[in-house]
Amino acid sequence: MMITKNNWLGTNLSNRIVNPTVDFELLITPYPFKKMNFGQAVEMTVKEIGSKYSNLYLGLSGGSDSEFVLRAFHKHNIPITPIIVLYANEVESKYAYKVCKELKITPIEIILTDDQFLNCLEEKIYKRFNSPAYNLPHVMFAAEYTEKNNGTLICGNHLIGDGDDLIIDDKFAFSNEWDYFIEYTYPAVNKIDLFLYTIEIMYSMFPESNEGTWNEYKQKLFNIEYRKKIRSNYSDLVKSKIRSLLVRKEGYKHKKSYEWTKSEFCEIFKNYIIK
């Protein structure tokens, strides 16, 4: 189950499962909130999660988002166990191990085979959601481990941009449907995206100006060593299977992401900001 404060964020994925041609939508029900700077919002949100939930696990990919999440919980003395899923991601995994060593945290390690990866991709993702979300199996296995250990899974999904895309008003905020698949595949798992748990932290992430790329902006926001987004290095067998799923998917046309311009996004929340 995806958890957010006051259930302010939801999706229409229950409809998507029944009808694979339905467009993906995010359902937003704002609550009154105060504008905060990012550091204040992180501290408030991490402490609130820590006071309500125990036995926390983190899907630690080695990217800057999940690394920041680990550092945030560690900084505020909230126990959390990273899960590193090893499969075709040797470069990013080095960053994951590096931060664990620095913080003196022992991670859980899950090593996948081609067969395990492909079975998850086809049976738990493609057939159920009509989506070849080939970067998702890693998180699925982290969720499976969390479920078996009666834990709460923390993830690093957010609504700001990513990668080397320029920050522009026309695509100011967006989200992809696969970020929310876990709650339907592992409904017994409490899943919390730190950056989406409160409106305060979500809203505090957005830049005031449109300078540079999203990755450059995130590096400054997170104060984490800059690195380009690193893609998984799949085997030829897996690449072939992914291509076949992409071709098969052409039979279903639906919108897989939800996005807002800057003015549209600000309009949603402007009447809920406490002066």
Answer yes or no: are the C-beta atoms of 106 and 74 closer than 8 Å. no
Q: What is the pLDDT of residue 251?
A: 54
DSSP assignment string, 124-168? IIIHHHS---TT-HHHHHHHHHHHHTT-EEEE---SS--TTPBP-
Q: What is the pLDDT of residue 151?
A: 96
Instruction: Look at strands 152-155 and 56-59 and give their pairing.
Output: parallel
Bridge partners, residue 193, by sequence? 155
DSSP assignment string, 237-250? HHHHHHHHHHHHHT
Assign 3-state DSSP to the chain and report helix, strand, coil percentages, each to 5.
Answer: 50, 15, 35
Show pLDDT as tens, one digit a residue, over the chain (275 residues).
799 999 999 999 888 888 878 889 999 999 999 999 999 999 999 999 999 999 999 999 999 999 999 999 999 999 999 999 999 998 889 999 999 999 999 999 999 999 999 999 999 998 888 887 888 999 999 999 999 999 999 999 999 998 888 999 999 999 999 999 998 899 999 999 999 999 999 999 999 999 899 999 999 999 988 777 777 888 898 989 888 887 765 555 778 888 999 999 999 999 999 98
pLDDT per position as a tens digit, 198-257: 999 999 999 999 989 999 999 999 998 877 777 788 889 898 988 888 776 555 577 888
Among candidates 43, 44, 101, 94, which has minimal Cα distance to 72?
43
Task: For residues 264 and 252, give the distance between their C-alpha atoms in angstroms, rounded to a whole number.
Answer: 28
Q: What is the pLDDT of residue 250?
A: 53
Reduced to 3 states, what is the DSSP secondary structure of residue 33? strand
Cα end-to-end distance, the chain, whole Å: 33
Among candidates 140, 156, 222, 218, which has minimal Cα distance to 193?
156
Name all domains of the chain by residue range, CATH numbers in brackets: 5-272 (3.40.50.620)
pLDDT per position as a tens digit, 18-31: 887 888 999 999 99
Q: What is the pLDDT of residue 129?
A: 85
Q: What is the pLDDT of residue 16?
A: 81
Answer yes or no: are the C-beta atoms of 211 and 197 closer than 8 Å. no
Task: For residues 152 and 112, give the distance between their C-alpha atoms in angstroms, rounded to a whole number.
Answer: 22
Q: What is the pLDDT of residue 252?
A: 59
Task: For residues 195 and 157, give the distance between their C-alpha atoms in angstroms, rounded to a whole number.
Answer: 6
Q: What is the pLDDT of residue 254?
A: 78
pTM above 0.85, yes or no: yes
Amino acid identity, residue 101?
A: K
